Amino acid sequence: MMTVRLIAHTPEPEKVVAAAAKLCYSDAHIADLLDGLNEEKTARFLEMLSDLGHASPIEHASFTFGIEGVSRTLLAQITRHRIASFSVQSQRYVRLDDFRYVIPPEIEAIPEAKAAFIDSMNEDAARYLDLVKKLEEAHTARLVAEGLPEKQARAKASKQANEDARFVLPNACETKMVVTMNARSLLNFFRLRCCERAQWEIRLLADEMLRLVYPIAPHLFRTAGPACLEGPCPEGKMCCGRAAQVRQKYARQKEQANA
């Protein structure tokens, strides 16, 4: 099951962004940037930045998430967001003796499809562990023959076995990661991945990340969400046709967070 935690963020992120904006539009000295930046003035600076489309100051606020229970399919998508930092559990160094996987909801909803999917995952797990064993034994024998002590040979062989055996693992295989994005990158991420046309798993992730950051920086993320919240859908003929419902959904979520 997907789990998302906000594990760190810039202290007082909105105030930091407002201070950066203040520097851009005044002759304030660095030592005085935070002076007078109460909640009202901070909100005013952030609204001004949004209205002007001046996005660079919001890059000074960053947010770090711990994410687990997601698939390698999701990993391939989220790493396309290049202005971010990723630390991902390695299949090279971590042997998946406890093989876990993500079942897509559409498969989960059909008993026959779910049974076939689970059978396939069990087969993949068995093949992976069998391949690990065969590779490890072969590599250990070779390294011992080359003169390496058996304990050292087996440790090295184990890593080599993991490195190649992982090639049989499916996209459904669970992974975990730590992800850091600045607020500007997050807004872009939400714009693209909260969209109804985004793949279901990364859309769920984006919604959960937005739910976590919004209470911390409500002015910074007041327009956060899919592109249709701020104007017409940019998807053209591929539009989901549910823009009104989507706007209601995010308005309701933000109202609940503000309650």
C-alpha distances out from residue 67 to 97, 104, 150, 162, Å? 20, 18, 38, 23
Q: Is 78 annotated as a binding residue?
A: yes
pLDDT at 70: 98
C-alpha distances out from residue 169 to 67, 68, 117, 248, Å? 20, 17, 14, 40
Cβ atoms 242, 196 nearer than 8 A: yes
Q: Is 183 annotated as a binding residue?
A: yes
Q: How many angstroms separate the CA atoms of 135 and 132, rounded? A: 5
Which is higher by pLDDT, 143 or 49?
143
- 8-state DSSP, 161: H
Angle between helix axes 183-193 and 200-213 (nearest 10 degrees) is 140
Mean pLDDT over 231-255 rounds to 90
Q: How many angstroms separate the CA atoms of 90 and 156, rounded? A: 16
- In percent, how much of the chain has pLDDT > 90? 73
Residue-wise pLDDT tens digits, 124-146: 999 999 999 999 999 999 999 99
Q: How many angstroms separate the CA atoms of 51 and 49, rounded? A: 6
In terms of pTM, does the model score above 0.75? yes
* Active-site annotation, residues: 193
Q: Is 193 annotated as a binding residue?
A: yes
Cβ atoms 55, 49 nearer than 8 A: yes
173, β-bridge pairs: 101
Residue-wise pLDDT tens digits, 93-122: 999 999 999 999 999 999 999 999 999 999
Amino acid 23 reads L
Q: Is 166 annotated as a binding residue?
A: yes
Q: Is 81 annotated as a binding residue?
A: yes
Cβ atoms 200, 242 nearer than 8 A: no
pLDDT at 73 over 80: yes
pLDDT at 190: 97
Residue-wise pLDDT tens digits, 148-193: 999 999 999 999 999 999 999 999 999 999 999 999 999 999 999 9
User: Which contiguous run of DSSP H or E holds residue 179?
Assistant: strand 174-182
